[in-house]
Structure 1
């Protein structure tokens, strides 16, 4: 054994500094996890997911009612070029459509649910009207 083999690779101060860095990193990670795990933040993320899925399902349902094989993906307003004379209604809406494949199960469930609600409503209205 040589003298170099018995000496520590790091000094106590270096080890303590590394421990302190790791503790700070762990504390930051725990803080981030705490923010993500807050019920309000979880609810906000879930509401955003539901809105996104609901919009897609609504577009699918609208396409079913209106017909056609395409679903609206995006619409945006296009303004006339700067310096041109703008008459009423010169703005144009550009809409992007995407070819519709098979309907997702959510759209079928939504259609069945809406149909059931309509049927129950009509029956309840008819029964109530008959009693009067």
Structure 2
């Protein structure tokens, strides 16, 4: 090693290490956002399925059943929403089918998640995640 190059490795490491740590942190945040998005979509799926299996076809009961299922799923997944909105609607499927019309339950979940919950560091702000699902009402639900 020549005498003019002494300490150059330490300087290179000091310059490169923060960039590598930043990339690692951004990758972790992106993965956590994706995981939380999947949990919100799964909660919407669980809510729509629970609403479609509800034995009481009144809209109020279907709404309560679907909302309870969504909240239970989000709680189990450890997702804490700051500004949560759960929209439950019922309708019919627009396809020609013989016999009875096919009723549906649609659940949309809007969830605002704090960036501090998604990051190992204190990051200000929040991200809005949306998930939705449509489930056909089971004719043989009992």
Normalised by the length of structure 1, the TM-score is: 0.33
Normalised by the length of structure 2, the TM-score is: 0.31
Answer 1 or 2: which has greater helix percent.
1
Answer 1 or 2: which has greater strand percent.
2
